């Protein structure tokens, strides 16, 4: 209900003097840094990228599809001498997050610097990879002590972003800086905060 209310507000409650003429089709490409804040992604950093295409539904609002990817840092643990002097066991645990969301974007004003915002709702693919490598004193793998497992889950999620754009720096393309929140219903409610730069094509 709250998300639906926010969609209505972003679409309808736009001051007339600030509404910019939006191109029929627009596109975005952004990249940046993410930090997990809760449950499944707590304390993990990531590189992130998103691409989106949108069609205008009003003078300052567009609806579209957004795809994204976040690759979180590996959580590594090492146990020396576990199977004799000089042996070593290393475990690497990594998560990645793929997203596909229906998104609403709002861009306000017609000046060179223009604020924008967006919300999205869709599916989040959480992928986990766990690998254990055990070696002897010479560095050779010990038979029967190697392990690798991957697992994937599709979960519902939502996102909210706010940014500031410098319009039409390169022909139809502008540059923006933005902050983004993603919430994923995975192992509790996982939060991911991202900051980055965006290429915005009118």
Lowest mean pLDDT among 21-25, 99-103, 167-171: 21-25
Q: Given a cut of 80, is residue 16 above it in pLDDT?
A: no
User: Is residue 46 in some structural domain?
Assistant: yes
pLDDT above 70: percentage of residues in the chain: 86
DSSP assignment of 67-111 equals: EEEEEEPPEEEEEETBTBTT-EEEEEEEEEEEEEEEEEEEEB-SS
Nearest alpha-carbon partner for 91 in 141, 130, 127: 130
Convert the pLDDT of each residue in 58-111 to its tens digit. Answer: 888 999 999 999 999 888 889 999 899 999 999 998 889 999 999 999 998 888
User: Is residue 36 in some structural domain?
Assistant: yes
User: Is residue 134 in some structural domain?
Assistant: yes
The pTM (predicted TM-score) of the whole model is 0.77
State mean pLDDT over 43-59: 92
User: Is residue 24 in some structural domain?
Assistant: no
Q: Which residues lie across from 201 on neighbouring strands?
A: 27, 173
User: Is residue 147 in some structural domain?
Assistant: yes
Domain assignment of residue 127, given as a range: 31-100+120-156+183-191
In total, how many domains does the chain have?
1
User: Is residue 39 in some structural domain?
Assistant: yes
User: Is residue 129 in some structural domain?
Assistant: yes
User: Is residue 140 in some structural domain?
Assistant: yes
Q: Given a cut of 90, is residue 18 above it in pLDDT?
A: no
């Amino acid at each position: 209900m709250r998300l639906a209310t926010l969609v209505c507000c972003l679409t309808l409650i736009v001051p007339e003097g600030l509404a910019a003429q939006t191109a029929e089709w627009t596109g975005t490409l952004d990249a940046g840094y993410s930090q997990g804040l809760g449950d499944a992604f707590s304390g993990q950093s990531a590189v992130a990228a998103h691409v989106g295409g949108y069609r205008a539904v009003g003078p300052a609002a567009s609806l579209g599809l957004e795809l994204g990817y976040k690759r979180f840092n590996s959580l590594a643990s090492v146990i020396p001498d576990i199977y004799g002097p000089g042996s070593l066991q290393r475990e690497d645990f990594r998560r990645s997050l793929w997203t596909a969301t229906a998104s609403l974007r709002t861009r306000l004003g017609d000046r060179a610097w223009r604020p924008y915002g967006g919300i999205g709702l869709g599916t989040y693919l959480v992928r986990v990879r766990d690998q254990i490598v055990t070696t002897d004193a010479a560095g050779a793998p010990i038979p029967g002590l190697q392990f690798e497992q991957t697992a994937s889950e599709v979960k519902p999620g939502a996102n909210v972003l706010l940014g500031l754009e410098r319009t039409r720096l390169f022909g139809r393309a502008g540059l923006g800086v933005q902050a983004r929140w993603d919430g994923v219903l995975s192992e509790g409610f996982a939060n991911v905060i991202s900051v980055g730069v965006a290429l915005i094509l009118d």
